[in-house]
Amino acid sequence: MKILWIFWVTCVANGEEYFVCGILTILGSWSPLWMTSRLSIGHFIIKKLYSSPSGKNLSDKTEEIEITKQVVGSGLYTRDETGESVNIYPILTSSSIRLIWDSLFAKTFEDDAPDVSNYANAMFAISYYHTRRVFKPWLRPDVVFNLTEGSKLAQEGIQFLNDFARKSVNERRKDWQKKKGLFLKSNFIESDSNEENGKDEDWACYVDFLFEQQEKGLLTEKDVQEEFSVFTVGGYETTSMVLTNTLFLLGTYPEQQAKVVAELDDVFGKGFDANSFKVTMGQVKQLKHLDFCVKEVLRLYPPVPVSPKKNNEDIQLDDGRVIPAGVQLYVSMYCIHRDPKYFPDPEAFIPERFSPDSKHYREKGSYAFIPFSVLPRSCPGQNYGVVNIKVFLAYLLKAYEWTTVTPRDKLKMSYQYTNHPKTQF
């Protein structure tokens, strides 16, 4: 069996393929399908996000960069006047899903849309019950697991995610074909150069770009649906957790929150319009302390705390022992990020440790800080995701002052592919 086991049980349980496989489980970092998937995501991000280095409003290129009251949702605003405490994780999960879908297939959802909550609940059931099999060996055989209630709930979740991916891709394809038909009839494709100039503007969303790759024979219909699920799950789960943990820690350490707010006031001014908050790439780059805070959150609470790997050759350790080729390894980013050799006082929240002259982060050139993994199998959307997170945090920190109800020593996390909170934030 060549595919990592932890993903294998998810992908083929009960014979139902799980569309979130895709780039996550392709064997070999240089296989043609893996390279196509990796380059597709990277090329789209470069074209759609980083094509405005002069500081042009990013909402002109990707609508999700414009954070509005509608994107944040009513979960926070309904409690604004009463001042009551609120568990922000489910609210930010909903916001992150809608944020991702807006960029993924150019469709806007209300915060109370059933598809949003159903998607989050389905993914929770899948991740919860399948990761239980990692820690409970007697559940690993399918013949045993399939007799449990957890297997039934996970299968229902898989079915929902698969059906939603099919439906969403097919709906978007109709819009894309209609738009493409109108484009072909226009006068702007009289020459090859004009046609080439029009293609980039035709990518209203990531799925449109995938359709173009499919037409070229680089992707199949199944590949497109898999990429849809990979982009959704990989995007919203990590985004919502980083947002939640950042607000939690800034609420726990008000002196750090004050530094971020002062920086935001310097960059955006003291005024704030809750209905529309637009950010340019130039402004994002000015948010130095916010960047330090996000990195420190990623160090303390990496969204994916463990990364499964399989080595292709023998590995010689410093003490003389050898890890033979073909062994399945688990790289714990959570533990590496707490190694005092690299991070003195590792449990402390010290965003300044990521400043260039800091003494709280040693050997910066090493692989001591790897929240998105490293090398070929690192997250292809990490830069895109971090920009979204910073813009979202800028909005939330301009809109509210955050205080924490749950003490940090009472915070408990649960591993379900990604870290999930067991206690309310």
Q: What is the pLDDT of residue 39?
A: 60
Task: Give the chain's length.
Answer: 425
Angle at 278 between CA 73 and CA 76, to 5 degrees: 20
Whether 185 has a pLDDT exceeding 70, the answer reads: no
Looking only at Cα atoms, what is the longest distance across the chain?
A: 69
Instruction: List, for residues 395-415, the tens digit of each pLDDT value.
Output: 899 988 999 988 898 888 887
Burial class from Cβ neighbours inside 10 Å (0-12, 13-18, 19+) for residue 257 reads buried
Whether 162 has a pLDDT exceeding 50, the answer reads: yes
Q: Which of 2-11, 90-99, 296-305 has the highest mean pLDDT?
A: 296-305
Q: What is the pLDDT of residue 133?
A: 87
Give the closest residue to 400 by CA, choosing from 282, 277, 302: 277
CB atoms within 10 A of CB 262: 11
Taking CA atoms, 419 is separated from 197, 207, 334, in Å, by 43, 28, 10
Q: Is the CB of residue 219 less than 8 Å from the CB of residue 40?
A: yes
Q: Residue 295 corresponds to which tokens in the numbers above? A: 């990195």
Mean pLDDT over the full length of the chain: 79
The CATH number linked to 270 is 1.10.630.10
Q: Does an H or E element contain 176, and which?
A: helix 149-185
Q: What is the pLDDT of residue 43?
A: 56
Q: What is the mean pLDDT of residues 268-292?
A: 86
Q: Residue 307 corresponds to which tokens in the numbers above? A: 């990364």
Q: What is the mean pLDDT of residues 101-112?
A: 80
Sequence-distant (≥ 6) Cβ neighbours of residue 180 within 8 angstroms: 202
- 275 vs 373 pLDDT, higher one: 373
E-state strands within 92-171: none
Q: What is the mean pLDDT of residues 204-229?
A: 86
For residues 329 and 309, give the distance between their C-alpha atoms in angstroms, rounded to a whole number: 5
Instruction: List, for residues 314-342, the tens digit of each pLDDT value.
Output: 999 889 999 999 888 888 999 999 999 99
Instruction: List, for residues 43-55, the tens digit of each pLDDT value.
Output: 555 555 544 333 3
Q: Residue 351 corresponds to which tokens in the numbers above? A: 């965003």
Whether 18 has a pLDDT exceeding 70, the answer reads: no
Q: What is the pLDDT of residue 163?
A: 94
Residue type (1 letter), 327: V
Q: Is 86 helix (H, G, I), strand (E, B) or coil?
A: coil
Q: Which residue range forms the structural domain that includes residue 62?
A: 5-421
Tell me phi and psi for residue 92, to 5 degrees: -75, -25
Q: Which residues pair with 323 in a beta bridge?
A: 315
pLDDT band at 344 (very low <50, low <70, confident <90, very high): very high
Q: Is the CB of residue 260 less than 8 Å from the CB of residue 367?
A: no
Give the closest residue to 176 by CA, choosing from 206, 219, 220, 197: 206
For residues 217 and 344, give the distance between their C-alpha atoms in angstroms, rounded to a whole number: 51
- 265 vs 274 pLDDT, higher one: 265
Q: What is the mean pLDDT of residues 82-105?
A: 84
Q: Is the CB of residue 11 less than 8 Å from the CB of residue 3?
A: yes
Tell me phi and psi for residue 258, to 5 degrees: -60, -40
pLDDT band at 195 (very low <50, low <70, confident <90, very high): very low
Q: Is the CB of residue 38 less than 8 Å from the CB of residue 380?
A: yes
Q: Tokens 């496989």 correspond to what residue?
A: 21
Sign of torsion over alpha carbons 242, 247, 248, 249: positive
Q: What is the pLDDT of residue 307?
A: 84
Domains identified in the chain, total number: 1
Whether 1 has a pLDDT exceeding 90, the answer reads: no
Least confident piece of the model among 100-114, 174-188, 225-239, 347-361: 174-188
Q: What is the pLDDT of residue 82?
A: 65
Burial class from Cβ neighbours inside 10 Å (0-12, 13-18, 19+) for residue 61 reads middle
Does the annotation list 335 as a binding residue? Answer: no
Whether 122 has a pLDDT exceeding 60, the answer reads: yes
Q: What is the pLDDT of residue 196?
A: 45
Checking DSSP bridges between strand 328-332 and strand 306-310, what pairing results, if any?
antiparallel
Whether 26 has a pLDDT exceeding 50, the answer reads: no
For the residues of 328-357, what is the DSSP string, one character each?
A: EEEEEHHHHTT-TTTSSSTTS--GGGGSTT
